[in-house]
Amino acid sequence: MVTPVGRLPAMSLAVVGARFPNSDGSDRRREISLCSPGEPVELRPEPHNKADARAVAVISCRGVQIGYLTAERCGRVSQLLEQCREVQAIFQRASPSGAWIRAGFDGETPQLLATIADDNETLDNGADTGFYPDEIWPDD
């Protein structure tokens, strides 16, 4: 698929932190198990997050948080959420550390990818899998 000049390409993003409970007691892993590929998810910036003011929570279509974007990506995605007129995101699949989602910016409709990573990635423990599905942005 060719991306029009000036339009950001859709990107795959890892969701981590699924092992932690939500403040309301809901279980992130259980919610991830209920998500279906292609289902919409919401990206919600948390500028008052004590751990990271750039944090971006990922919320299922049922309104339950499934985790956060990785620290490596949340800075750039926070900027994009402020700058873009329309952001759409979909659930891709569960992973050992949480999940993978696909996000499109400025009207780009994210599409499911046939394959996006190997099932052995372990992002929650800080290990770098070496897998980056899209271009590396200048702030990285």
Range(s) of the domain holding residue 40: 11-105
38 domain residue, yes or no: yes
* pLDDT tens digit sequence for 68-77: 999 999 889 9
Instruction: Read off the CATH number of the domain in which 35 is found.
Output: 3.30.70.2330
81 domain residue, yes or no: yes
120 domain residue, yes or no: no
83 domain residue, yes or no: yes
Tokens of 44: 């919600």
Count structural domains, the chain. Answer: 1
Higher pLDDT, 10 or 138: 10
* pLDDT tens digit sequence for 44-83: 999 999 999 999 999 999 999 999 999 999 889 988 998 8
Q: Is 70 exceeded by the pLDDT of residue 113?
A: yes
- 66-88 per-residue burial string, b: 16 or more CB within 10 A, e: under 16: bbbbbebbbbbbbebbeebeebb
* pLDDT tens digit sequence for 22-48: 999 999 999 999 999 999 999 999 999
Cα distance between residue 83 and residue 98, in whole Å: 27
